[in-house]
Amino acid sequence: MNYKFMRLIVFFDLPMQTDRERKEYARFHKYLVRNGFIMMQKSVYSRLVINNVTSLAVKQRIRNNLPADGVVELLEITENQFSRIEYLVGEEQQLVIDSPDRIIEV
């Protein structure tokens, strides 16, 4: 089977002033983690997907789980483009295995 690996990157900026907003933030954050997203930076998460069909399904599930307030942005790039990321300060994270072996199929 031929796979075209892609990376979905979610950027979000959610308000956290009230208890309700903090609860919504926590719910959305937990949703991303439970669904295979890895934290790149605070409020920036990425996930590897194997093809366009999987990507469309993941994007639709994110739309179905959006918080009431704030900004959530989604970027889809090829795995080849993602592999060219340059770490200008700090080090690449080695704590999480981020390879096709880690794919979570839903």
pLDDT one-digit tens code per residue, 95-104: 555 555 555 5
Burial call 43-82: b when 16+ CB within 10 Å, e when fewer: bebbbbbbeeebbeebeeebeeeebeebebeeeeeeeeeb
Report how far residue 87's alpha carbon sits from residue 66's, in angstroms, rounded to the nearest whole number: 29
Q: Is residue 71 part of a domain?
A: yes
Write the CATH number for 78: 3.30.70.240
Which pLDDT score is estimated for 18?
A: 94
Domain-located, residue 23: yes
Domain of residue 29, residue span: 6-102
- What's the gap between Cα 97 and its chain centre? 15
User: What's the pLDDT score for residue 92?
Assistant: 66
When the pLDDT of each residue in the chain is averaged and rounded to a whole number, the result is 86
Distance in angstroms (rounded) separating the CA atoms of residues 50 and 6? 6
- Domain presence at residue 92: yes
- Give the whole-angstrom CA distance, residue 25 versus residue 15: 8
- Residue 38, in any domain of the structure: yes
Assigned domain for 1 exists: no
Reduce the DSSP state of residue 18 to 3 states and report it. Answer: coil
pTM: 0.79
Domain count, the chain: 1
Asked if the structure places residue 20 within a domain, the reply is yes
